[in-house]
Structure 1
Amino acid sequence: MQMNQQSKDMNLIIQLDKNERLKGNLYLGSVYGADSIKQDNSQKIFSILSIGNEPENQIKFDPKEFNHMTLEIYDHPNFKILPFFETAISFINQELQENNLLIHCFAGASRSSTIVIAYLMKEHKMSFLEAFNLAKSKRQKTNPNQGFLEQLKQYENILKYQQQ
């Protein structure tokens, strides 16, 4: 893959809400997409949620320019990602009030897409399947590992129970 293809490795998932609840757009991408923001920020992304298993090796963002949060999550089917959902969703909600936000992991396929799907389920009242299909339609690389898929289905049941 050439660098110019990698540097644009992010996809728009949700655009501004018509009812003005959200002021920012939500993007899903890879580490290459995140790194490209430093050179060309034509999407005007000023909030970044980085998900990786070695936070110290993550891209460093200037705190004067970007609101940045890093979550240490391993892309392994046995890893418990569900406990991270509320922290991530809280950050996403806070940042989308003001900024465009990129959620990324290394490939933009498993960890970051799992967080995006959980966010869509909770905040946009989507079923697991609706959220998964939306993410997949916007970013073909969306591919949570089997353990993450199971935890998203578990989360769907938790959300249903909370709504009763």
Structure 2
Amino acid sequence: MSFLEQLKARKLLLKSSVTNITHADGSQERILLSKPGETQKMTTKTYGFIVDTKPDFVPACILEDFLYLGPQDAVMRENVDKYQLTDILSVGIETSASNIDDENDPIVQTHFVECLDLPETNLATTANRTSQIIKCVHDKKGRILVHCNAGVSRSSAVCIAYLMSDHKMNFETAFALVKSKRECIRPNDGFLKQLKQMDRNNS
């Protein structure tokens, strides 16, 4: 058997492999290399955030009569009325004004800050903007609901950052407070690392 024939024979013994690709929008795609020179895109896609699969309508009150935290499901007119919300802060997920519109009541102010739920996202830049918005609502004696998709990672991270910057809490105290109000919170590992670094920078 010639050397070229040996190489061709060895190619047939190669095992298939899978490559994961993360796109700029946070979506992740798997590509299967089944045979040498042949690739096949697998249809399943995952995203850089937790996919919310069940209704979760009740926001958690983090600071009494002022700061509320929840998922996208909590952005509804019933909650605006019940908690007398003046502002909605959407972190990474824009919400439709149709969820909260009521022509007979004052208009609720909506805010949107871009943020991917990825460990490499610069949380300091996001938290600086969200903390300014939350502080302005506090100064005008309003009430704000902060939400992302599931109310687990992004929105909880910016609430913790706000407590650290404006209420001078350390990371452990701020995290424990938010966790005690909404047990399911879990900022991604990159956000946790950055929050701890913010704490060290403030001390």
TM bucket by the smaller chain? Answer: 0.7 to 0.9
1:150 equivalent in alignment to 2:193: yes
Indicate the structure with greater helix content.
Answer: 1
Task: State how far apart, in whole Å, the 2-side matches of 1:91 and 1:135 are.
Answer: 18
- With a CA cutoff of 8 Å and minimum separation of 6, indicate the structure with the bigger relative contact order: 1
Query: 1:49-128 residue pairs with structure 2 within 5 A?
Result: 49-52=89-92, 55=94, 58-60=95-97, 65-97=107-139, 98-128=141-171
Which amino acid is the alignment partner of residue 119 of structure 2? P
Task: State how far apart, in whole Å, the 2-side matches of 1:59 and 1:51 are.
Answer: 13
Shift of 1:7: 2.3
Query: 1:12-51 residue pairs with structure 2 within 5 A?
Result: 12-15=61-64, 24-34=65-75, 36=76, 38-40=77-79, 41-51=81-91
Paired residue total = 144
Structure 1, unpaired ranges of 5+: 16-23
Provide the TM-score with structure 1 as the length reference. Answer: 0.80
Shift of 1:27: 0.4
Shift in CA distance, 42/80, structure 1 to aligned 2, threshold 3 Å: same
Task: State how far apart, in whole Å, the 2-side matches of 1:73 and 1:48 are.
Answer: 16
Q: Secondary structure at the match of 1:13?
A: strand
Task: State how far apart, in whole Å, the 1-side matches of 2:125 and 2:198 are.
Answer: 10
Task: State how far apart, in whole Å, the 2-side matches of 1:75 and 1:59 are.
Answer: 20
Task: State how far apart, in whole Å, the 1-side matches of 2:61 and 2:131 are.
Answer: 17
Partner of 1:20: none
Which amino acid is the alignment partner of residue 158 of structure 2? I
Shift of 1:2: 6.8
Shift of 1:59: 2.3
Pick aligned residue for 2:60 from 11, 14, 24? 11
Name which one, 1 or 2, has greater alpha-carbon Rg: 2
Indicate the structure with greater strand content.
Answer: 2
Percent of residue pairs bearing the same amino acid type: 34
